[in-house]
Structure 1
Amino acid sequence: MRWTNSFLYGKSGLSKTAATRYLLRTLERDATNVPELELTTIEVNCDGLNTSYQVAVKLVNELREPSRQISNTGYPQASVYEFLFDELDAYGGTVLIVLDEVDHIGDDSLLYKLSRARSNGDISEAKPGVIGISNDLDFRTQLSSKVQSSLCEKEVSFSVYDADELRLVLEQRERVAFQDDVLEDGVIAMFAAYGAKDSGDARKALDLLLEAGDVARESGSAVVTESHVQEARERVQTDQVVEGIQNYSQHGKLVLYALTRLHERGDTPVRTREVVETYRSVARSEGVSPVSERSVRDYLGELAQLGITGVTEHNRGKDGGKYNEHQLEQSVSAVRSGLSTLLESA
């Protein structure tokens, strides 16, 4: 069996991993009917594995029995590759290696070694193939030219779901997660429309479906209605805002806190220089050296891109010049929830 290395690209939530697993399970099932075909599949999620060395160790341990597994440190990289090639040859046949979130690997070494293993004589019995899955559409262009040449891969790009496609996904999940007549007529179409409008992300659309079920149950309703969907969407959006703020940098949080204080005083929309002044006061009260005004402007731009704040540009002509005004786009309660760790120490 000849395998062309394949790389799957697309935003999160477009079923890249699910589609890969489904096709591999189908391939494994069909392979049992072909006596001369030996097929092995291995899947490794590279999230948290930042180097080829770490991923190679993970692959070795996936192929070995627990009693023969190796530690994450203490071996030269060349030895780890030798272990890996020996294990692949021990399996023999076609070995398909799925590297999910492959863009997390910070170097090209493993991809190069795997793609050249047979031609370099590192492997004689096995025929390895690589399936890379990435949310980074530019991942391939970041690889070195020798790796791009060696992989000779086939690229598959996953586009976002439209409303009709999301509706089909949601209808399938409805049959699994809900009893008959629990969802009001038109609710699935509403979920699908929101999902397509927000991101085309099936995972988020399913999260909204399940959240609406929770809302209906909490209210004592036996039927999920459009009002439950609306409340669920507000909850999900609030959770996303809170999580985004919690994962933001310290100075980004301080800039947001400064704008929040101005909002609570009724001073927004507010010009950039006033946000800068309030930020500096907040930073000093936290015992932190303020960053530059330019950095504050950058943080305000990032917050606006995240949809947490809004910015309006004003142009008063040659004499008045240009300036920006900023305001919160999310509720104070959601913002303060995201800033809870910062506020507890304030």
Structure 2
Amino acid sequence: MGIFDGATDGIYRDKDVLDEDYQPDQVLEREDEIADYRDALLDVLFGRTPDNIFLYGKAGVGKTAVTNFVLGELRAEVETRDTADPIHISRVNCDSETTYSVIRELANGLLPATHSPYAAKGYSTSDLFDELYEQMERVGGTHLIVLDEVDHLSDPDALLYQLPRARANGYLNDARVGIIGISNNYTFRNTLSSKVKSTLMETEISFSTYDADELVSILEHRADLAFQPGVCEDSAITLCAAYAAKDDGSARQAIDLLRAAADAAWKADDPTITDAHVKDVRDDVDRGQLHDKISDQTTNAQRVLEAAARLQNKHGEPARTREIQESYQQLARSYGDPDPSTSLKFAQRHLDDLEMLGFVIKSEENRGKGGGRSYIWEVDMDLETVIDVREDIEQTNAA
């Protein structure tokens, strides 16, 4: 008798709907955002250049799901419209990328099968732009370029200035371009040059975190698809939603928690998913979520966060900007960076971004009359877990 004999799906009907890459047929609790997205893309249906669109919001609040849904609907509608040009959707994850590497990836994605890919070296950025424009013109139609994690792009100004102006500058005649930027960083636009901001003229769509009621609605829909009837107790769904809403309002966290609780029930051969299963798996899921959130940040931002966490853990109180900067330098050197930044503004910028993302809390310190302005930073998550996660990430990167 084999070890897998008699194995069944048990409580599951379709476990795939709980996977991170599952794309639902309908996106719940994002009606306003979908309407704004639709309005910004309407010109595509009439052969005109669409608005550039930038989406802002924390991880797990529906930016990618809404993008996939809206672009799928747009593609289907374009096929029914004589006034619409064909659309070509290109997606690039900009994490740790440069304008050069992004343009190369976009150009390679448009090449015919008989053409060799553009090499990683041997071209100037200007040459690669020309190659991209040539391929866009050859293919024609409207090109929608989705730049995920656009705030992680090392030099965004060149890319975000050149592409929207390609027709105006005579590089494109038949083809049209629309940029869709997706960012976790609400302050990203402030980092762009004034000429880029005036060129983009983008539609901004902000995705707020989900509240508990919205998460219940999302989880109930997924549970109906994922489980056999009557398997998941209503209170277990409510508890998953409450935990996620209290943390960071992420649908991904709520769904991960529900899946982990379901796995616990399945492995124990329990007939229903209960509050007890949710409580049992919460710590492990929270740690995994924290690992993902931290690893999504740039290396320097992660190290600044770790520096703040280590200082707070050591002294039992939040740290000042300069203390964090000095601790960051020591950490960076210990991880093999021979020349870490010594600028106080460097630490301030990363700490401001971390505050916006909910990692830290900023308070102004009263230094008395004429003492100037000073800030202290409190890491708003479990310190030991932050430190452990960071050590895991560095060890993985070094392997």
- The 8 Å contact of residues 194 and 205 in structure 1, kept in 2 or not, is answered as yes
- The 8 Å contact of residues 191 and 229 in structure 1, kept in 2 or not, is answered as yes
The C-alpha deviation readout for 1:54-82, integer Å capped at 9, x for no partner, is 11001001111344221222111111101
Deviation at 1:103, TM superposition (A): 1.2
1:72-111 pair list within 5 angstroms: 72-105=120-153, 106-111=155-160
Deviation at 1:307, TM superposition (A): 11
Partner residue of 1:218? 267
Partner residue of 1:12? 59
Partner residue of 1:126? 175
Q: Are residue 40 (structure 1) and residue 98 (structure 2) matched?
A: no
TM-score w.r.t. structure 2 length? Answer: 0.64
CA distance in 1, matches of 2:247, 2:99: 35
Q: Are residue 160 (structure 1) and residue 209 (structure 2) matched?
A: yes
- The 8 Å contact of residues 43 and 100 in structure 1, kept in 2 or not, is answered as no
Query: Of 232, 239, 260, which residue of structure 1 is paired with 2:281?
Result: 232
In structure 2, the CA distance between the partners of 1:141 and 1:218, relative to structure 1 (3 Å rule), is same
Q: Are residue 196 (structure 1) and residue 245 (structure 2) matched?
A: yes
CA distance in 1, matches of 2:194, 2:237: 47
The C-alpha deviation readout for 1:161-186, integer Å capped at 9, x for no partner, is 11121112111211222111111132
In structure 2, the CA distance between the partners of 1:222 and 1:257, relative to structure 1 (3 Å rule), is farther
Q: Are residue 63 (structure 1) and residue 110 (structure 2) matched?
A: yes
Aligned to 1:155, the other structure's residue is in SS state: strand
Deviation at 1:47, TM superposition (A): 3.4
Matched residue type, 1:216: A
In structure 2, the CA distance between the partners of 1:142 and 1:164, relative to structure 1 (3 Å rule), is same
Aligned to 1:186, the other structure's residue is in SS state: helix
Partner residue of 2:7? none
- The 8 Å contact of residues 243 and 338 in structure 1, kept in 2 or not, is answered as no
**Same amino acid, percent of matched pairs:** 37
Aligned to 1:121, the other structure's residue is in SS state: coil
Please provide the CA RMSD for this pair. Answer: 4.3
In structure 1, runs of 5+ residues without a counterpart are: 261-267, 273-278, 289-294, 309-325
Partner residue of 1:317? none
In structure 2, the CA distance between the partners of 1:142 and 1:336, relative to structure 1 (3 Å rule), is closer
- The 8 Å contact of residues 88 and 143 in structure 2, kept in 1 or not, is answered as yes
- The 8 Å contact of residues 12 and 201 in structure 1, kept in 2 or not, is answered as yes
- The 8 Å contact of residues 240 and 254 in structure 2, kept in 1 or not, is answered as yes
In structure 2, runs of 5+ residues without a counterpart are: 1-46, 320-326, 337-343, 360-377
- The 8 Å contact of residues 231 and 272 in structure 2, kept in 1 or not, is answered as yes
Partner residue of 1:314? none
CA distance in 2, matches of 1:258, 1:331: 8
Greater Rg, structure 1 or structure 2? 1
